Chain A
Amino acid sequence: MLPEITTYRNSERARYPFCPGCGHALVNDHLNAALVQLQLDPRQTVIVTDIGCVGMSDQYFDVHAFHGLHGRALTYATGIKLAKPALKVIVLMGDGGVGIGGHHLLNAARRNIGVTVLVFNNLNFGMTGGEHSVTTPHGGITATTRGGNLERPLDICATVAVNGASFVYRGTAFDKDLPARIAEAIQTPGFALLDLWELCTAYYVPNNRFSKTELLQTMQALGLAAGVLQRTENAEFAHAYRARITDQRGQPVAPSQPVEQKFESALAKPTRIVLAGAAGGKVRSTASALALGGMYSGLWATQRDDYPTTVMSGYSVAEVILSRAEILYMGIEKPDILAVISPEGLSQVPRQLRAMDATQTVYVTPDLANQIETRARKVVFDLDRAPVPKKALALATTAAIVRHARLYPLEALREAICAGQRAEFAQENLRALEASETILQEVVS
């Protein structure tokens, strides 16, 4: 049994730095009382502070302390909780932090991450000189709303409550039972928030002739209820995450996927190949198989894909280089082989077509053959005799090219198209491969 802790306040820096009458001092005292009530192990407790006058608070407590950027306290708190779910993580932030970090507040509530948030809500930015915040009441006078605030104040509690917070409380720094409420929040496994209205005696109070009475009246006038507003028991995120991944423990980590050489290629010089087709036409998977087949045949390979961000429509162009030596520069300005498989693909390769010369070859489907002007050799597939479904065109023509250009044994491509495929896809691929025989026989040069 550990000796009882009578205060979590840091004796070295006992006096708060806040202005006389500042509500921050009251809330910090209530927090201290709550910690004393709970007798938390200081080594298992973290106070994460935001920026602003409230951000100085962590220095006055003898627990772990993390003082981060304006509005981002919840992100560090989330990281801490995810890494060490057993820790009690308490976030102290101002209404300014709620504003600039609103996105994190929404998401922390929505995730139900197990942290406790105390909003030191003094209705304005204290530290920077009394500017308006997201909670400044309508009509409130601040340094940036001299004629009265036109904006509607944010209902912090309703916002986090509707998004799944486990515990939500609205009150003031003057609430007598606040230590008990804070303690309950800290003991809540999921996301807990206390919206604590208080006085900024340097700015909001003098600017608006404000006191405890006006504070309570404002809350009432806005129709904002006080007290515990929500208690739910959804799963806490950090624990839920751990539970979700337990069955993955011990699975092989990033296992290597060796590609063994099983065939020989007679390819003499580096060969740069471009497949220009359409989205949905299996251009990329065909290019992968082409490269893999090369590797099965002892070659080095690279593959680069280009496609619009809307992956299911438009062009799909893949570049493959096969070489006997390691490939450094991966670009292709002047392909040795260009396969034009669809109009979408054709639209992407005018530069390459212009650059190619008579030592190089364009392979093209009959429908596009006469749209192509190039100095390169032109090889047209005859698809009339051996109709190939559109989806299989890239693979069938690529297989034909592997044979025709003698890149490597067709057997290697056959293995590559079946590698890692489910049986029905492998069958489909094999049919396309067989079709290549027919269309190649009919090649018209």
Chain B
Amino acid sequence: MREFMDGAEAITRGALAAGCNFFAGYPITPATPILLRMLRELPKIGGVGIQGEDEIASIGMCIGAAMTGAKAMTATSGPGLSLYSENIGLGIMGEVPLVIVDVMRLGPATGGATTVAQGDVQFLRWGTSGGFPVIALCPTNAAECYALTQRAFNFAERFRTPVFIATDKEMISAQQSVETSTFENIPIADRARAPAEGEFVPYRVKRLADTPLFSPIGGAHLVRFTTSMHGERGILTKKPSNVNKTSRHLYEKIEAHRAEFELVAFDAPERAPTVVVSYGITARSMIEAARDARAAGKKVSTLTVHSLWPVPARALRDALRGATRVVVPELNFGQYRLEIERIALALDPRPQVIGVNRVDGELITPGEIEEQIL
């Protein structure tokens, strides 16, 4: 079955399929279509969809709702993401399951409201204080918008942390024919709940890499939520051993499970000296460039990264091993290229890493990428 839809619709359907029942957001081009659709759909399932007085309020409402057990999502673009920053940190520290869609537009600041860019990639990674790990997924088409939104919810639930969906203006607002019968329904994962009987300790984990059991505000156990540094009971602490434990737990919880976040599509019909690595809207140009290059008799493989953070290091190493040339097209000054260079550095032979970059609000053309495929 074919439909004509934009990424906003695919994300909305993905969120609903994942069980999303709370959305708060503040209008901003190009993320507004997601706000409108979530507000249109949620009442039908008895959920809550609301426009907050600003981005800080919107994400705050999502966080409050999430801790009562709701599956919450919000969506914004660069200026709003900047305002989310402090609460993203709260989401990490307090262990809040939350999905945040970033629809990238040209920055900095107000920048180009209706102009495509991929300039938030490192901002998503380092956009809140403390430098703790985050999870960010990145779809390249409507089917992936649908599937990865479900995965984002599943990760948010499983690891109780904010999960980003990194998209862009074109992905969200361009209408496309979509084969929706191929839309993938991912089994829903819900946060592990504490049993109703017995003592409940809000931040207790057996191993550092575990996620604490959840009990909702308003549920059977008294819940103590905090954004401050805390021990397992949610009481403020400065005791180095407690602080160390909480910090390492927040780190290990993600880092120890890196294998689960390795979402990539590697297309290598044969060993090729050139590997192109890209993501999001630019990966579409990459795939087209590779097709044209192969038709012209060139050898090239492509790697589409669907999980930007944590960096799918193993998949990247495997894909880059033996290559002499790695091309990284992206709509910024080379933000993800930094990560690829880090990986390339450890390889022998060490491939040359070349960026193809645009910051003029236009998409990178397949031709511009093909030029770099020798």
Contacts and interface: CB of A to CB of B under 8 A. Distances in A.
17 contacts: A43-B221, A64-B217, A65-B226, A66-B217, A66-B225, A68-B227, A74-B60, A79-B61, A81-B64, A82-B50, A253-B44, A256-B3, A295-B4, A304-B173, A307-B114, A328-B287, A333-B365
Interface string B56-75: 11111111111111101000
B220 to A, nearest CB: 7
Contacts of B61: 75-76, 78-79, 82
Given A256-B3, A333-B365, A65 B224 contact: yes
Given A107-B57, A252-B44, A64 B365 contact: no
B54 interface: yes
B226 A79 contact: no
Contacts of A307: 114
A309 B113 contact: yes
A56 B224 CA distance: 12
B154 interface: no
A349 to B, nearest CB: 14
B41 A253 contact: yes
A4 to B, nearest CB: 18
B35 to A, nearest CB: 14
Contact of A83 (B22, B43, B53): B22
Main secondary structure of the interface of B (DSSP, over half): mixed
Given A83-B69, A84-B218, A330-B170, 5 more contacts: A67-B226, A82-B22, A106-B53, A249-B44, A288-B175
A46 B223 CA distance: 9
Contacts of B217: 46, 64, 66, 80, 84, 87
A250 B46 CA distance: 8
Contact of B180 (A65, A82, A249, A256): A256
Given A107-B53, A330-B170, A65 B236 contact: no
Nearest to B225: A66
Contacts of A76: 60-61, 63-64, 67
A257 interface: yes
Given A84-B217, A254-B13, A79 B62 contact: yes
Contacts of B284: 328-330
A339 interface: no
A355 to B, nearest CB: 12
Given A72-B87, A257-B3, A329-B284, A67 B225 contact: yes
B63 A79 contact: yes
B13 A80 contact: no
Given A291-B175, A304-B170, A103 B228 contact: no
B313 interface: no
The 6 closest A-B pairs by CB, nearest first: A75-B60, A79-B64, A245-B43, A79-B61, A76-B64, A83-B65
